Amino acid sequence: MIETPLSVLAICGSLRAKSFNGALVGELASLAPGGMTITVSNSIGNLPHYDGDLEAASGIPTGAAQLAQLVTDADAVIFVSPEYNTSIPGVLKNAIDWLSRVPGGPLANKPVLIKSVSPGAFGGARMQPHLRQVLSAVGAFVYPRPDIAVGLASQRFNEDLRLTDDPTREAIRKQLADFSTFARKLNRDLDDCEER
């Protein structure tokens, strides 16, 4: 069966060169179902801190406008993020805050999937409901379940930061397949609503 294309933008909440979350972003293409293409944005670290005075003086910064365009152009978005002090890394929250200021709200009505990786046992699971809440506030449709939080990362990734744990690979493969069904259906339903 030929799947209709689904373009997915992946955004990582870690800026580290040897990030486990970045490594998982790098694995997504090999785990994606037919028709799903993954584009990666590494730009969130270049955005200024959100500042209402800056916005009033010079509008949306170029980097935020470019990220907003990538989000708008994508059929769906995947956030892969670490957990910092049981919540969302500031750099990622900052990027979402800038996106929320772009007219039209690029994340509104967007199918979104959240994933997290941590060397700790919880895998970033405590961050996920916080990110879900923020993304819901900007109008995204966050894939409801299952949450996949990859814990004990140094046992699941090898020294080259390849995801070598087969059960984790299979769980993510299945989740991406289910998410692609969800995203396609949601986008079709939203198109139908607009046509009415």
Ligand X SMILES: Cc1cc2nc3c(=O)[nH]c(=O)nc-3n(C[C@H](O)[C@H](O)[C@H](O)COP(=O)(O)O)c2cc1C
Neighbours of 14 (CB within 10 A): 23
Q: Which residues of the chain form contacts with ligand X (CB under 6 A)? A: 14, 16, 19-22, 82-86, 117-120, 122, 124
Distance of CA 9 to the CA centre of its chain: 7
Structure token digits, residue 167: 């059960």
Nearer to ligand X (CB atom), residue 35 or residue 119: 119
Q: How far is CA 154 from CA 67, 82, 121, in A?
A: 31, 14, 11
Coil, helix or strand for 148? strand
Q: What is the maximum span of the chain, computed from C-alpha positions, in angstroms? A: 53
Q: How far is the CB of 66 from ligand X (least distance, A)?
A: 23
Of 25 and 36, the one with the shorter C-beta distance to ligand X is 25
CB of 15 to ligand X, least distance (A): 8
**DSSP β-ladder status, 76-81 and 6-12:** parallel
For the bound state, the minimum distance from the C-beta of residue 129 to ligand X, rounded and expressed in Å, comes to 13
Considering the complex, state which of residue 118 and residue 187 has its C-beta at the smaller distance from ligand X. 118
Residue 79 or 141 with smaller CB distance to ligand X: 79
Least distance from C-beta 79 to ligand X, angstroms? 12
In whole angstroms, give the CA distance from residue 76 to residue 121: 29
For ligand X, give the closer residue by CB, 118 or 175: 118
**CA-CA-CA-CA torsion for 141, 169, 41, 151, nearest 10 degrees?**
80
Q: How far is the CB of 41 from ligand X (least distance, A)?
A: 15
Residue closer to ligand X by CB (options 25, 47) is 25
In DSSP terms, which residues pair with 91 in a beta bridge? none
The least CB distance from residue 45 to ligand X, in Å, is 12
- In DSSP terms, 9 is beta-bridged to 39, 77
CA dist 51 and 179 (Å) reads 34
